[in-house]
């Protein structure tokens, strides 16, 4: 097991060397105000057997989870996904049991994961960049507000066999407050990597003692206290600070390094908000509001071509009309401040009710039109449609739609090498829709104070009364009776036609016999 802890301090945050003390057996942190990534890499034989079985059926497997709470995303952790659980995987070449993957997801993340099998529940994303080798071939999404089930699973199934169970349980408990989580596995390295990210420190800062590994040799804990530095090149991120290996180094060592990166942050004022103006009815409109600061061209190389995009993750209850959104009619596009529909995948049947849709939903990549950046505010509207949902006693059902991600995509110079960097993050669902040298600049979601990054829509449905004509059982029996009566009526009409045609034929035969005589 290898563990890497990265503590990222803002440039304006003061740092006192006494806040990090190194001893032969541990590294002690005291009231450290910093964002944090905690990444642990396991060998395949270090994880529970049921996980091994599920992963061995995959060529690659990736989980991306984001909290419904708004959180900062400083470089190099600037990439975003919509809140909820995203699963991307490519099946292996063998005859692995695909259903075992869904069973494992339920076991690890909870029964609310509505997954039957990859064939029935996953969608196939339109990977436009075939050279982007990290792109997975199947995608799944479900709303998951909390990582409580995952934390409980780790405490129950992983920590019991850990060499340091107390530390394992502490790490599992910390995941309950994480802002995002990544899990990665590929069949080449046979390694499982779990990364939790906290955008800010808990109240009072990070105060803990990170003990050296119990097992020597194979286990290692590396700690970095880093901060972003001004980079020389626009496509680069430069980091500086202190690094050390717990139990090996007697002091933290200074470091300074830079690397080209796909994902970059924007200033805090580059935000966006999402709303669905009432009444939503069956045809809600998603409105994305962008302030002036979000409309400025990002700090990409001068010769780069940049465009503003949004990536929507829509559950099965709501969908877009791909024929409407893919139009080239300038009047329609300008009325919604859209430029083009760049990619769509998943359930797009315009007539299917929600109960007949087996797969989780659909994804939409839209390029947005941008005005003169002197505009004070810019509204983009995306027309959507709600599926028919099952009746309810109140006549209303709710549909939860996660906020989309909004970002600038800029082409990098031809000579730019976007190699793997220490903080690289791929397989987000939307990055594979662009070329391998594309740079992304993320806007920050800004909901109302206390509001989640999810739009709750009220959907009108058939109202079921406890008694009366519109009681569910009455409707069901009445439907069967009407269909039966219709069937009997059709048979009766067919019988009349057959009898009529038969009588006419007999009369003609009698007439021919009379003439012959």
Half-sphere exposure of 255 (CA within 13 A, CB side): 17
- At residue 239, the 3 state secondary structure works out as strand
- Taking the C-alpha atoms of residue 183 and residue 196, their distance in angstroms, rounded to an integer, is 9
> How does pLDDT run across 83-140, given as a tens digit for each residue?
999 999 988 876 555 678 899 999 999 998 999 999 999 999 876 544 444 578 899 9
pLDDT at 466: 56
Q: What is the pLDDT of residue 507?
A: 54
Distance between first and last Cα of the chain? 107
Q: What is the mean pLDDT of residues 457-474?
A: 68
What's the per-residue H, E or C state across 27-79?
EEEEEECCEEEEEEEEEHHHCCHHHHHHHCCEEEEEEEEECCCCCCCCCCCCC
Gap between the Cα atoms of 266 and 261, Å rounded: 14
pLDDT for the residue numbered 168: 87
Q: Are 79 and 442 in contact (CB under 8 A)?
A: yes
Measured distance CA(321)–CA(313) in Å, rounded: 14
pLDDT at 366: 98
Q: For tokens 């995987």, name the residue.
A: 89
Q: What is the pLDDT of residue 130?
A: 45
Distance CA 276, CA 257 (A): 44
Q: Is 251 exposed, middle or buried (0-12, 13-18, 19+ CB in 10 A)?
A: exposed
Pairing of strands 180-186, 58-66: antiparallel
pLDDT number for residue 468:
47
Average pLDDT over residues 455-471: 72
Biggest CA-to-CA distance, the chain:
128
Condensed to tens digits (0 to 9), the pLDDT of residues 151-174 reads 999 999 888 877 788 888 999 999
User: Mean pLDDT for the chain?
Assistant: 87
pLDDT > 90 fraction of the chain, expressed in percent and rounded: 54
CA distance 123 to 92: 17
pLDDT mean over 413-430: 77
Angstrom CA distances, 175 to 87, 214, 220, stand at 18, 22, 20
The pLDDT, as a whole number, for residue 72 is 87
Q: Measured between alpha carbons, how far is 161 from 156 in angstroms, rounded to an integer?
A: 9
CA distance 83 to 304: 30
Q: Tell me whether the omega of the peptide bond preceding residue 260 falls within 30 degrees of 0, making it cis.
A: no
- What is residue 132's predicted lDDT score, i.e. its pLDDT? 45
Listed residue (119, 120, 173, 110) closest to 142, CA to CA: 110
Beta strands in 163-233 (DSSP E): 180-186, 191-198, 206-211, 220-229
* Least confident residue range of 41-55, 63-77, 255-269: 41-55
State the pTM of this model.
0.87
* pLDDT higher than 80, residue 478: no
- Strand ranges across the sheet with 206-211: 20-22, 26-32, 206-211
209-223 pLDDT per residue, tens? 999 888 776 789 999
- Give mean pLDDT, residues 449-476: 74
Closest by Cα among 412, 316, 299, 308 to 355: 316
Q: Provide the CA 231 distance to its chain's centre, in angstroms.
A: 30
| CA–CA dist 174, 176 (Å, integer) | 5
Read off the tokens for 233. 């090149």
Rounded Cα distance between 345 and 363, Å, is: 5
What pLDDT band is residue 284 in, cutting at 50, 70 and 90?
A: very high
Give yes or no for residue 460 having a pLDDT over 90. Answer: no
- Above 60 in pLDDT, residue 517? no
Confidence category of residue 329, pLDDT binned at 50, 70, 90: very high
User: For residues 313 and 361, what is the distance between their CA atoms, to the nearest angstrom?
Assistant: 8
Which tokens is 457 given? 């829509």
- Nearest CA to 380 out of 312, 280, 434, 314 is that of 312
Q: Is the pLDDT of residue 204 over 70?
A: yes
pLDDT digits (tens, 9 = 90+) for 491-508: 888 888 877 766 555 555
The SS3 of residue 303 is: coil
* DSSP designation for 402: E
What pLDDT score was predicted for residue 161? 79
The residue-averaged pLDDT of 409-413 equals 82
Burial of 136 (0-12, 13-18, 19+ CB in 10 A): buried
Q: Which of 122-131, 320-329, 445-454 has the lowest mean pLDDT?
A: 122-131
Q: Rounded distance, CA 395 to CA 377, Å?
A: 37
Q: Give the closest residue to 92 by CA, choosing from 223, 200, 185.
A: 185
């Amino acid at each position: 097991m290898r563990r890497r802890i990265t503590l990222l301090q803002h440039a304006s945050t003061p740092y006192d060397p006494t806040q990090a003390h190194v001893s032969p057996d541990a590294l002690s942190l005291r009231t450290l105000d910093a964002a944090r990534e905690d990444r642990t890499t396991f060998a395949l034989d270090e994880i529970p057997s049921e996980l091994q079985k599920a992963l061995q059926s995959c060529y690659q497997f990736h989980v991306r989870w984001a909290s419904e709470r708004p959180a900062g995303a400083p470089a190099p952790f600037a990439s975003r996904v919509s809140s909820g659980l995203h699963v991307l995987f490519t099946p292996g070449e063998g005859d692995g049991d695909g259903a075992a993957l869904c069973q494992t997801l339920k076991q690890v993340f909870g029964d609310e994961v509505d997954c039957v099998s990859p064939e029935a529940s996953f969608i196939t994303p339109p990977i436009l960049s075939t050279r982007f080798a990290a792109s997975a071939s199947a995608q799944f999404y479900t709303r998951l507000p909390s990582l409580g089930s995952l934390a409980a699973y780790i405490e129950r199934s992983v920590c019991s066999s850990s060499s340091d169970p107390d530390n394992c349980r502490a790490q599992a408990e910390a995941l309950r407050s994480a802002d995002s989580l990544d899990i990665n596995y590929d069949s080449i390295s046979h390694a499982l990597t779990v990364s939790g990210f906290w955008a800010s420190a808990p109240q009072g800062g990070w105060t803990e003692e990170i003990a050296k590994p119990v097992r020597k040799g194979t286990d290692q804990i590396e700690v970095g206290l880093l901060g972003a530095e001004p980079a020389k090149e626009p496509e680069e991120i430069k980091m500086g600070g202190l690094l050390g290996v717990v139990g090996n180094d007697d002091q933290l060592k200074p470091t300074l390094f830079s690397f080209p990166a796909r994902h970059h942050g924007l200033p805090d004022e580059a935000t966006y908000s999402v709303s669905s103006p009432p009444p939503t009815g069956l045809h809600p409109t998603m409105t994305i509001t962008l302030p002036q600061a979000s409309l400025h061209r990002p700090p990409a190389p001068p010769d780069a071509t940049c465009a503003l995009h949004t990536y929507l993750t829509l559950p099965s209850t709501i969908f877009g009309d791909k024929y409407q959104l893919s139009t080239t009619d300038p009047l329609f596009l300008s009325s919604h401040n859209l430029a083009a529909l760049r990619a769509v995948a998943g359930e797009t049947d315009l007539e299917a009710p929600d109960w007949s849709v087996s797969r989780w939903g659909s994804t939409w990549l839209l390029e947005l039109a941008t005005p003169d950046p002197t505009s004070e505010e810019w509204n983009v509207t995306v027309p959507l449609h709600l599926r028919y949902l099952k009746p309810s006693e109140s006549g209303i059902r709710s549909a939860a739609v996660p906020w989309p991600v909004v970002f600038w995509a800029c082409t990098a110079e031809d000579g730019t090498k976007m190699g793997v960097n220490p903080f690289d993050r791929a397989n987000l669902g939307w990055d594979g829709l662009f070329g391998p040298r594309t740079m992304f600049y993320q806007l920050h979601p800004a909901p109302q104070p206390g509001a989640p990054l999810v739009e709750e829509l009220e959907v009108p449905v058939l109202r079921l009364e406890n008694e009366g004509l519109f009681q569910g059982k009455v409707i069901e029996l009445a439907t069967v009776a009407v269909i039966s009566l219709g069937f009997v009526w059709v048979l009766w009409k067919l019988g009349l036609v057959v009898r009529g045609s038969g009588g006419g034929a007999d009369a003609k035969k009698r007439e021919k016999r009379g003439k012959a005589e």
